[in-house]
Each structure stands twice: as structure tokens, then as C-alpha cells.
Chain A
């Protein structure tokens, strides 16, 4: 049952699968392309600030699919039907979390290569950026899922989710981008720890939000 659900969720959210699903990756690369035009072609400045820009782009790319992530299936009654088949909301949300992460995490890691080239990041920085993204994107996915579930039944949900994400994502951003500024891997450890915590509570928080949304 879990496998069938994951297959469907992936088909729904994976890039290049449907209309606009590749948006996060396109958005991410577009930011990396536009940034040098905005600040000028100073190679030093680019390599110094580029890593931070990539992290901001990754964070914003992660919230692009939020609107569709949970609200649509609440409206369609998918979660209700799954519940009747004995699946808990937590399990549904854990599957959704995995699908959401797979839909933007690994593609962003791949897109970091062209982005690094565009922003003149050197080898060690790219290395830190890549492991940072691998460690941080699951946390971003978990934050996104929780917010999407919490705001699913609100009318201004989409606007609100963008606002809610910013403070929650700050720790990941500080340590992730900070690793690039200080060129040390210790910060990545913090990113991984925060991610792990968020991934652990994400399905429970999102599941509770879906249950609460039913009791209007």
C-alpha cells in the first residue's frame, strides 16, 4: 500500500512529470543565472557571495510546490479514502515527505553544478554546497510539508506559507550558508541535525494538522 502511494505521489510531484512540476529547478538555475547580471561580473564578489545566493534560491525553490502539496488531496478526499483503508495520517505524510523531497532535493543537488559554474564557486565551496544541500533539503522539505498541511484549509494559505517558512528555515540557512563562508564542514553537521529533527517531527505535525482540518 505504501509503495503504491509513494508511486502516485512521485508521479504527481516529480519534476518533468506534469505541468509546472520542474519549476523549482528552473527557478533555482534562473536565480544563479540572473545573479551575476544583477551584481556585475566581479569574479571575487561572485565566488564570495554566490554560495549564499544558491542557498536562498534552494530555500525559495522548496516552497514553490507547497500550495499543491497537501491542500489538493484534502479537497479531493484522497486522505479520507486512505484513512478508511487503515492508513494513518502520519504514514501518508511520511510518504508525502519522501516524495516532496525526492521531487526537489536531488534535482537541486544536480542543478548546483551549473549554478556553481555560473557563480564562479571553487572546488571546496562546491563540495560544501553539495553536502550542505544534501543535508539541508530534507529539513526544508519537512518544514514545507508541515506548513502546507497547517495552511491547507485556509483561504490565504499560499501567501501565509511563504511567510511561515522564513523563520523556520533560518537555522538551516544560517548553518548551511555559514559553512561556505567559513569553509568548514562542522556547520554541515548542525544542518544535518536540524534536518533530522524536522524530518522526525514533520509527519506527526502534518498528520495532526490534516486530522484537525477535518473537524471544522
Chain B
């Protein structure tokens, strides 16, 4: 499925700002097929900003983003209508993505008993799993995951880590921003704090 085109994701001298603060600069990396990168960094170092910039949602302050192939994003907001039952909310994205067989992903993530429950009644972890189901059903080679494990219980953490592992082994790319330790083979790691501007560090420890 994903091996047809060779996906690529990277940054070249990337610098991003939030408000009038430069969060990080001179960030360069490159991921090719079957590679995964774990972005670490204290709160406010710009993990989410980096991910949104890589996704093409915001423009970087300087540098460029290399993005070849379709890309999926999982963040704090699963983009599911709070008033709709989970099944209907997911069905919207299935129609958008032209997904024929959404059930395996829904079953795998244990969402089947929740399909009739309105999204606003779901817990953080359940919403996270629903967002992941939508991502799985998109079948895209590049995954950008912003705190994919937050709010998940131990069993779900193991399962999600396994899913990421499978995705990467299948030739995909995963970029994960997380405070948790990720048990994924061949996972590279990047500390975003290392790229912070001097100003920024003074701010942080003042």
C-alpha cells in the first residue's frame, strides 16, 4: 500500500515562531521510508508548532519543509463532531477519504461498543483512539503524531506503540512528539530544546 511511492519528510534549516518568540532555529533532519523520529522537549519548546509547520498548516519563519507524499496528522483535536455519535462522525471522514472498509481499524482500537455514543461523552483516551482510527483508515505513508499516548491506559499505549511500529515496518514514516518513552525499534530521537534560540532559554529559566 505505502511502498509504491517513496515517502520523504524533512526540514532544512527550519525556524518557527509563535507570537513574536522564535521557538527553535536551524533545525534540519530527513526521514525516508521505514524511519521514525521521536521529538522530545520541555513544554513550550515548539513541538506542536513544528508538527503544524511540517504538516503545511503554518508557514515556517525561515527554512523549508520537505514533504513528499500524503500526510496524516493526529493531535489534541480529533476533528469529530461532538454532537454526533462516534460512528457517524467517523463515517464523515471515511466518505472524505473514500475508505471502503473502516471496520478493522475501529475493531482493532476497541471502538465498536462506542459507535452509538455521542463524541462529547467520550473520554480523552477514547477520542484519541477514535482519531487514530480515522488516521489508520486514511492509509497515508507519513504520520505526524502529537502526543499520541496522552490520556491512554497502559493496554492502549502498548497497542498504539505497536500500530506505529507496524506502520513504520510497512514502509511508512512516523514523527512522534511525546513526553512518554516510546518502545519502537530503530526509533531516532531529536531534542527540540537543543535548537532553541539563546533568548528562549533565558526566558525559560528566568
A residues apposed to B, CB below 8 Å: 1, 4-5, 7-8, 12, 18-19, 75-78, 80-86, 214-216
Known: A80-B73, A80-B79; 12 extra A-B contacts, CB below 8 A, are A4-B96, A75-B77, A76-B77, A76-B81, A77-B75, A77-B78, A80-B52, A81-B79, A81-B93, A82-B96, A84-B71, A214-B58
**Contact at A84–B78, with CB atoms within 8 Å?**
no
Main SS at interface, chain B = loop
A85 to chain B, nearest CB (A): 6
10 A-B pairs closest in CB distance: A77-B77, A4-B95, A77-B79, A81-B79, A78-B79, A8-B92, A4-B96, A76-B79, A214-B58, A215-B58
Contacts known (A214-B52, A214-B58, A215-B59); A1 close to B96, Cβ less than 8 A: yes
Q: Give the one of A7, A19, A76, A86 with max B CB within 10 A.
A: A76
User: In the docked arrangement, what's the CA distance between A83 and B79, Å?
Assistant: 12
Residues of B within 8 A of A8 (CB): 81, 92
Partner of B80, one of A76, A80, A215: A76
Q: A77-B79, A84-B72 are in contact. Are A216 and B92 (CB under 8 A)?
A: no
Q: Is the Cβ of B96 less than 8 Å from the Cβ of A85? A: yes
A17 CB to closest chain B CB (Å) equals 10
Judging by beta carbons under 8 Å apart, are A84 and B92 in contact? no
Check if B44 is an interface residue, CB within 8 A of chain A: no
Q: Are B81 and A12 in contact (CB under 8 A)?
A: yes
For window 9-59 of B, CB contacts with A under 8 Å fall at 18-19, 52, 55-59
B19 touches A84 (CB 8 A): no
- Chain A hits for B56, CB < 8 A: 83-84
Please, could you name 27 A-B residue pairs with CB atoms under 8 Å apart, sorted by A? Answer: A1-B96, A4-B92, A4-B96, A7-B95, A8-B81, A12-B81, A18-B83, A76-B77, A76-B79, A76-B81, A77-B78, A78-B79, A80-B52, A80-B73, A80-B77, A80-B79, A84-B55, A84-B56, A84-B57, A84-B71, A84-B72, A85-B96, A85-B97, A86-B70, A214-B52, A215-B58, A216-B19
For the complex, give the distance between the alpha carbons of A92 and B59 in Å: 20
CA distance A1 to B58 in the complex (A): 23
| Separation of A215 and B61 alpha carbons in the complex (Å) | 11
